[in-house]
Amino acid sequence: MSSAFPYRGRGTPIFGTVLRPLVDFEARSEVTGEWVRVEDALADTGADASVLPLHIGMLVVNKVASGKKHVVHGVVPGASLSVFVHRVDCRIGRRRFTAPTLIADSIDVPAILGRAGAIDRWRATYAHGRLLRIRK
């Protein structure tokens, strides 16, 4: 089974429109049991783990601060970010997976689909800066 995700254009103040490997996925809420849609998550092979901004994390986990607290660098260059580690059940289409997920203590960070438990589960191919394809 293969899924393809065309890159999406996003405006930047420096380069104008830039194409990025953005994917939509869903995270299962511990609070309601419903699936919460996470839109425009950056599929980032340079990210060790997936990241959710606080406002989405609060919909997904019962108590954000119950996760193990860490401080990470690199999400926001030159700055540190406090995060809480949780295991989150996710799905992309029919592909279900559980991934370690960092819930940021800020809403000013992008959603990121990282390697551990997510991208590394599949063969991910980034084709000419235009398409992300994932296969089993």
* Average pLDDT rounded to a whole number, residues 53-73: 96
Cβ–Cβ < 8 Å for 87, 27:
no
Both tokens of 100, joined, read 């370690």
Predicted local distance difference test score (pLDDT) of residue 48: 93
The CB density around residue 31, as the number of other CB atoms within 10 Å, is 13
pLDDT tens for residues 2-21? Answer: 788 999 999 999 999 999 99
Domain annotation for the chain: domains and CATH numbers: 2-135 (2.40.70.10)
Predicted local distance difference test score (pLDDT) of residue 119: 94
The predicted model scores a pTM of: 0.91
Return the percentage of the chain with pLDDT > 90, whole number: 81
Is residue 76 over pLDDT 70? no
Return the HEC string of 13-57.
Answer: CCCEEEEECEEEEEEECCCCCCEEEEEEEEECCCCCCEEECHHHH
* Average pLDDT rounded to a whole number, residues 57-86: 90
d(CA 40, CA 8): 9
Is residue 1 over pLDDT 70? no
The CB density around residue 65, as the number of other CB atoms within 10 Å, is 9
- Is residue 58 very low, low, confident or very high in pLDDT (cuts 50, 70, 90)? very high
